[in-house]
């Protein structure tokens, strides 16, 4: 039976490249001269450090531009609230990966409401869709694209 998996992943290598390009641009921009503005990539987050909240917004804008050029969906980022520590402002941005169980259940309800002859099963942080016809699977993909779920989705492991 044909099937595919619905996942929400971020290409770590491309994300690292986008952060490196942002760092390069920060060091060369005139409005950041003499400041301690920086950006650091962690395992599941990105940390922005600057002298003011205005500079944090500028760094975030540059990061979004670099990510868009590298075809990374910026919807996978969840910016936290900036806070002051001494003279510097810090903002942590969470990088979301995987489909949360609540969202997966919502996606299964969407599939059932669409009356397509497919089955959906939660497998960890991904969703497996199985059906008898390839057309039903493609229609299911279209249902997910039309529903604004708030996270970027990829369709992988398509099997006939």
Instruction: Give me 50's structure tokens.
Output: 């600057």
CATH 3.40.50.300 correct for 3-8+98-159? no
- Fold type of domain 12-95: Alpha-Beta Plaits (3.30.70)
Among residues 39, 15, 41, the alpha carbon closest in space to that of 26 is found at 39
Q: Residue 129 and residue 138: Cα distance in Å, rounded?
A: 10
Residue pair 58/31 in contact (Cβ under 8 Å)? The answer is: yes
pLDDT tens, residue by residue, 87-102: 899 999 999 888 888 8
- The domain ranges of the chain are 3-8+98-159, 12-95
pLDDT of 35: 85
pTM of this prediction? 0.82
pLDDT of 56: 92
pLDDT of 146: 87
For the chain, which residues score pLDDT lower than 50? none
pLDDT of 86: 87
Q: Which residues pair with 91 in a beta bridge?
A: 48
């Amino acid at each position: 039976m044909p099937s595919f998996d619905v996942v929400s992943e971020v290409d770590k290598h491309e994300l690292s490249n986008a952060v490196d390009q942002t760092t390069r641009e920060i060091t060369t921009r005139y409005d950041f001269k003499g400041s301690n503005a920086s950006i650091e990539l962690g395992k599941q987050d990105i940390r922005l450090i600057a002298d003011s909240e205005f500079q944090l917004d500028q760094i975030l804008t540059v990061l979004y531009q670099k990510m868009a050029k590298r075809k990374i969906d910026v919807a996978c980022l969840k910016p936290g609230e900036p806070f002051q520590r001494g003279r510097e402002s810090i903002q942590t941005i969470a990088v979301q990966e995987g489909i949360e169980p609540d969202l997966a259940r919502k996606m299964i309800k969407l599939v059932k409401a669409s009356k397509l002859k497919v089955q959906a099963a939660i497998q960890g942080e991904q969703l497996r869709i199985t059906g008898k016809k390839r057309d039903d699977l493609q229609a299911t993909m279209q249902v997910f694209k039309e529903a604004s779920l708030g996270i970027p989705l990829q369709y992988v492991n398509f099997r006939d």
